[in-house]
């Protein structure tokens, strides 16, 4: 792990981010500066600074209500930030809508699963893949060759993506009828369909049993390796976070209290007090 | 998991459906030629067809998009008056043969287009906002259109809608055959759109708007698209309605008409084209069959709605859609795919 190369910064702001060696010297995929949001009087997130390398797996952890999901909602513009800048692949996302941010390269999953539950598994992935198709409305109505060609390619791609999680044979099932774990995996597949450069996973292992979690862990690494994208995940399962995350950011009461590698975090007294310490008290 | 279902190739599916439509058209022609189809029965068939188009088109906005427009009759009125005024002004009554057919087709398309234009004008501001603003705005629109039509009897000295006294002597072009063709075209176009990337985007908004946006779906665009499509076919139905009656009164396009169409969609099952077709048919024939029932129609409708909401909120058919090919496949017609079993 090295400190992030200052020469490639777009605006010189001191950063304490650690990014993997292989990403050093390249333009970071995501850079947040002094990001913050208030809900009425409540400051949910404040002064959030983070840099993520192009192929990094980053972790965002913190106690319940720390503001982790809010950070994802800020990055994807579900909420407009009150303060701060988000640079995605060197482009400022200010003023973009959620859909535009997705086109620019951020895809996400949701803590409380948001599938298109009455549609088939295939349709869910195809909606993720809809930007890969460009046929016009008349072409759809008249079923012109462009319709058939692009639909065929998209369907094949969908099956390919589903097979990452061995789900290709579930393509005709209704998404809402899948077991919980499969629904979480389908959300990841759907997000991958949008061809992201940064994948945000909000508690991907929630509700999974240990063997499912272990498999998920392998798959997240596999996705990063095959697609060469960055992944940022929120997770309460410490073994998952400590095992696969190269950089970890700890949030408490909307503020970053620590950043670093798994080893740094585990030994950080602030983290132990705010997070792990609290847990022990509760038990 | 080697048990694969039989699958009919796409071309075979289209052929089957085309043959079915052709058979129905020939049957219809034969029936009316042989005189078996009485005038009264033809009238009912026409009404059924118009109501099917209205219900199926409203279903796009309610069932597929998941919005609640309350002014569908307003778009119907726009279409009816557009078609009526157009047909009168080109003097279609004096035409015959191919020019007449073309004029009628032009009138139908124009009615749809003008209604669709109103759909865009209302949809853009209403659908950009999150929440149920569309219900309120379309409710207002339906009433405003009616009042406007009643009051602009002439524009710049030209007779226009003839206001409250009604637009009269519109060429009566609507027959069972052209209504049937319009019904088929409406269902076909809506089906083709819904089974495409556009349709999937529309459905995704109904299912989960935030997830749709996160998947890159431009929700405002597709909402307006669905709403406009819904308005277009309401305009088509309006034009057929004008050509059926031969005269138009603004009073016929009130709030109650909008609710009547909505009841058809809800009872049939939101999101089911088959449901809309069946319940539009039943709810058109029923009052005709039971003349004395007409007085209690609205009471029965509301009661039926309440019962439906209690016992089967998803409607008669839920979002099930009929597919002849699927039934044939279930019966084992078609060949088993020789595809590779590469799921593992
Ligand atoms: N839309 C909103 N309006 C008002 N307050 C909100 C809103 N969204 C989040 N908050 C508040 O912001 C804080 C952070 O919430 P957030 O959901 O980001 O927590 P989290 O870290 O994801 O927690 P968890 O681990 O339970 O998922 C909470 O106090 C929450 O009540
Ligand atoms: Mg959360």
pLDDT at B98: 83
Average pLDDT score over residue span B39-48:
89
Residue A212 confidence (pLDDT) above 70: yes
3-state secondary structure A34-96: EEEEEECCEEEEEEEEEEECCCCEEEEECCCCCCHHHHHHHHCCCCCCCEEEEEECCEECCCC
Per the CB < 8 Å rule, is A135 touching B344? Answer: no
3-state secondary structure of A227: helix
How many Å lie between the alpha carbon of A228 and the closest alpha carbon of chain B? Answer: 20
Which has more pLDDT, B214 or B17? B214
N- to C-terminal Cα separation, chain B: 11
With pLDDT > 90 as the criterion, what percentage of chain A qualifies?
A: 73
A80 touches ligand 1 (CB under 6 Å): no
Q: What are phi and psi of B278, to 5 degrees?
A: -65, -50
Nearest-CA residue of chain B relative to A155?
B197
Residue B139 confidence (pLDDT) above 70: yes
Task: Please list, in sequence order, all residues whose beta carbon lies within 8 angstroms of the beta carbon of residue B118, skipping any fewer than 6 positions away.
Answer: B74, B75, B78, B141, B145, B231
Report the residue of A99, A110, A177 to disrupt the B interface, i.e. the one with the largest count of B CBs within 10 Å. A99
Nearest-CA residue of chain A relative to B189?
A141
Which of A163-172, A223-232, B96-105 shows the lowest per-residue confidence on average (mean pLDDT)? B96-105
Q: Average pLDDT over chain B, rounded to whole?
A: 84
With pLDDT > 70 as the criterion, what percentage of chain A qualifies?
A: 91
B144-181 confidence digits (pLDDT tens): 988 888 888 766 666 676 777 778 888 888 888 889 99
Per the CB < 8 Å rule, is B342 touching A163? Answer: yes
Tell me how far apart the alpha carbons of residues A116 and A123 are, in angstroms, rounded to a whole number.
8
A87-100 confidence digits (pLDDT tens): 999 899 999 999 99
Q: Average pLDDT over chain A, rounded to whole?
A: 88
Q: Name the strand (E) or helix (H) holding B274.
A: helix B273-289
Average pLDDT score over residue span A207-230:
93
Task: Please list, in sequence order, all residues whose beta carbon lies within 8 angstroms of the beta carbon of residue B50, skipping any fewer than 6 positions away.
Answer: B179, B237, B240, B241, B244
pLDDT at A279: 47
Q: Which residues in chain A are closer than 8 Å to B210, comparing Cβ atoms?
A: 78, 98, 110, 114
Nearest to B202 by CA among B62, B83, B88, B6: B62
Domain locations in chain B as residue ranges: 42-255
Is the alpha carbon torsion for B286, B291, B292, B297 positive or negative?
Answer: positive
Q: Which residues in chain B are closer than 8 Å to A166, comparing Cβ atoms?
A: 343-344
Average pLDDT score over residue span A158-186:
94
What residues form DSSP beta bridges with B158? B155
Strand blocks (E) in B50-119 = none
Q: Name the strand (E) or helix (H) holding B146.
A: helix B133-151
Q: Which residues in chain B are closer than 8 Å to A131, comparing Cβ atoms?
A: 216
| Long-range residue pairs from A240-245, CB within 8 A, at least 24 positions apart, any chain | A240/A205, A240/A213, A240/A216, A241/A59, A241/A61, A242/A266, A243/A217, A244/A57, A244/A217, A244/A220, A245/A57, A245/A58, A245/A59
Residue B190 confidence (pLDDT) above 90: yes
A121-134 confidence digits (pLDDT tens): 999 999 999 999 99
pLDDT at B285: 86
pLDDT at A14: 43
pLDDT at B244: 93
Tell me how far apart the alpha carbons of residues B77 and B74 are, in angstroms, rounded to a whole number.
5
Nearest to A231 by CA among A109, A127, A128: A109
How many Å lie between the alpha carbon of B342 and the closest alpha carbon of chain A? Answer: 8
B244-254 confidence digits (pLDDT tens): 998 898 888 98
Tokens 């400051």: give the residue: A43
Q: State both tokens at B325.
A: 């090919």
pLDDT at B6: 61
Residue A167 confidence (pLDDT) above 70: yes
pLDDT category of residue B204 using cuts at 50, 70 and 90: very high
pLDDT at B176: 86
B241-297 confidence digits (pLDDT tens): 999 998 898 888 988 899 999 989 988 888 888 889 998 998 888 877 777 777 777
Q: State both tokens at A84.
A: 């701060």
A44 touches ligand 1 (CB under 6 Å): yes
Q: Which of A66, A253, A257 to mutate to test ligand 1, by most ligand atoms within 8 A of the CB atom?
A: A66
Distance from residue B132's CA to the centre of ligand 2 (Å): 27
Per the CB < 8 Å rule, is A137 touching B198? Answer: yes
Mode of pairing for the β-strands spanning A42-52 and A230-234: unpaired
Which has more pLDDT, B307 or B187? B187
pLDDT category of residue B2 using cuts at 50, 70 and 90: very low
Which residue is closest in CA terms to ligand 1's atom 22?
A69
CA atoms within 13 A on the CB side of A71: 34
Per the CB < 8 Å rule, is A141 touching B204? Answer: no
A244-258 confidence digits (pLDDT tens): 999 999 999 999 998
Which of A231-245, A246-260, A266-280, B217-231 shows the lowest per-residue confidence on average (mean pLDDT)? A266-280
Per the CB < 8 Å rule, is A116 touching B343? Answer: no
A43 touches ligand 1 (CB under 6 Å): no
pLDDT category of residue B338 using cuts at 50, 70 and 90: very low
Distance from residue A60's CA to the centre of ligand 1 (Å): 14
B70-108 confidence digits (pLDDT tens): 999 999 999 999 999 999 888 777 777 888 889 999 999
Neighbours of A27 (CB within 10 A): 14
Instruction: Please answer whether residues B308 and B314 qualify as being in contact, where contact means their C-beta atoms are separated by less than 8 angstroms.
Output: no
pLDDT at B153: 73
Which has more pLDDT, A146 or B304? A146
Is the alpha carbon torsion for A146, A148, A154, A160 positive or negative?
Answer: negative
Q: State both tokens at A38.
A: 């208030």
Average pLDDT score over residue span B217-229:
95
Ligand nearest to the CA of A41: 1
Burial of A258 from C-beta contacts in 10 A (0-12 / 13-18 / 19+): buried
Instruction: Please answer whether residues B69 and B134 qualify as being in contact, where contact means their C-beta atoms are separated by less than 8 angstroms.
Output: yes
b/e per residue A135-151 (b: at least 16 CB within 10 A): bebebbbebeeebeebb
């Amino acid at each position: 792990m090295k400190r992030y190369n200052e020469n490639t910064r777009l605006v010189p702001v001191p950063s304490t981010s650690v990014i993997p060696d292989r990403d050093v010297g390249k333009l970071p995929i995501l850079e947040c500066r002094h990001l913050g949001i208030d809900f009425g009087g409540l400051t949910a997130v404040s002064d959030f600074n983070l840099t993520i390398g192009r192929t990094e797996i980053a972790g965002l952890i913190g106690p319940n209500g720390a503001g982790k999901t809010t950070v994802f909602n800020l990055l994807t513009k579900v909420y407009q930030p009150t303060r701060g800048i988000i640079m995605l692949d060197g482009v400022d996302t200010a003023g973009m809508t959620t859909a535009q941010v997705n086109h620019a390269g951020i895809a996400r999953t949701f803590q409380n699963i948001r599938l298109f539950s009455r549609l088939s598994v295939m349709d869910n992935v195809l909606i993720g893949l809809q930007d890969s198709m460009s046929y016009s409305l008349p072409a759809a109505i008249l079923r012109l060759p462009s319709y058939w060609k692009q639909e065929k390619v998209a369907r094949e791609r969908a099956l390919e993506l589903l097979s990452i999680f061995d789900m290709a044979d579930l393509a005709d099932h209704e998404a809402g009828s899948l077991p919980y774990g499969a629904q979480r995996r389908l959300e990841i597949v759907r997000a991958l369909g949008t061809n992201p450069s940064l994948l945000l996973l909000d508690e991907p292992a929630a509700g999974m049993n240990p063997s499912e979690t272990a498999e998920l862990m392998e798959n997240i690494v596999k996705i990063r390796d095959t697609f060469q994208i960055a992944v940022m995940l929120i997770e309460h399962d410490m073994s998952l976070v400590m095992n696969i995350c190269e950089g970890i950011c700890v949030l408490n009461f909307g503020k970053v209290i620590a950043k670093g590698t798994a080893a740094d975090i585990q030994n950080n007294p602030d983290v132990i007090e705010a997070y792990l310490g609290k847990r022990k008290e509760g038990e | 998991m080697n048990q694969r279902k039989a699958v009919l190739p796409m071309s075979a599916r289209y052929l089957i459906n085309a043959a079915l439509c052709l058979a129905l058209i020939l049957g219809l022609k034969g029936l009316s030629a042989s005189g078996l189809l009485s005038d009264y029965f033809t009238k009912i068939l026409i009404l059924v067809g118009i109501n099917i188009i209205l219900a199926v088109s409203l279903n796009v906005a309610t069932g597929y998009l998941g919005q609640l427009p309350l002014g569908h009759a307003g778009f119907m009125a726009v279409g009816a008056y557009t078609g009526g005024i157009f047909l009168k002004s080109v003097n279609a009554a004096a035409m015959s043969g191919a020019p007449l057919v073309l004029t009628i087709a032009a009138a139908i398309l124009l009615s749809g287009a003008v209604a669709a234009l109103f759909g865009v004008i209302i949809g853009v501001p209403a659908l950009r906002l999150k929440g149920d603003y569309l219900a309120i705005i379309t409710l207002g629109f339906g009433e405003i259109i009616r009042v406007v039509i009643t009051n602009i009897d002439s524009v710049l000295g030209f007779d226009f809608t003839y206001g409250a006294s009604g637009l009269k002597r519109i060429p009566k072009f609507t027959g069972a055959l052209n209504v049937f063709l319009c019904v088929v075209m409406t269902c076909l176009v809506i089906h083709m759109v819904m089974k495409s990337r556009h349709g999937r985007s529309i459905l995704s908004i109904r299912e989960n708007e935030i997830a749709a946006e996160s998947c890159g779906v431009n929700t405002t665009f597709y909402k307006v698209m669905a709403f406009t499509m819904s308005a277009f076919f309401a305009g088509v139905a309006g034009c057929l309605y004008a050509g059926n009656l031969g005269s138009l009164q603004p009073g016929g396009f009130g709030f109650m008409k909008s609710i009547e169409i909505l009841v058809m969609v809800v009872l049939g099952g939101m999101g089911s084209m088959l449901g809309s077709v069946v319940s539009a048919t039943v709810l058109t024939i029923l009052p005709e069959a039971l003349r004395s029932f007409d007085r209690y129609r609205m009471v029965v409708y509301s009661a039926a709605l309440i019962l439906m909401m209690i016992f089967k909120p998803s409607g008669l058919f839920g979002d099930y859609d009929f597919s002849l090919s699927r039934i044939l496949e279930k019966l084992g017609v078609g060949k088993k795919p020789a595809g590779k079993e590469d799921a593992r």
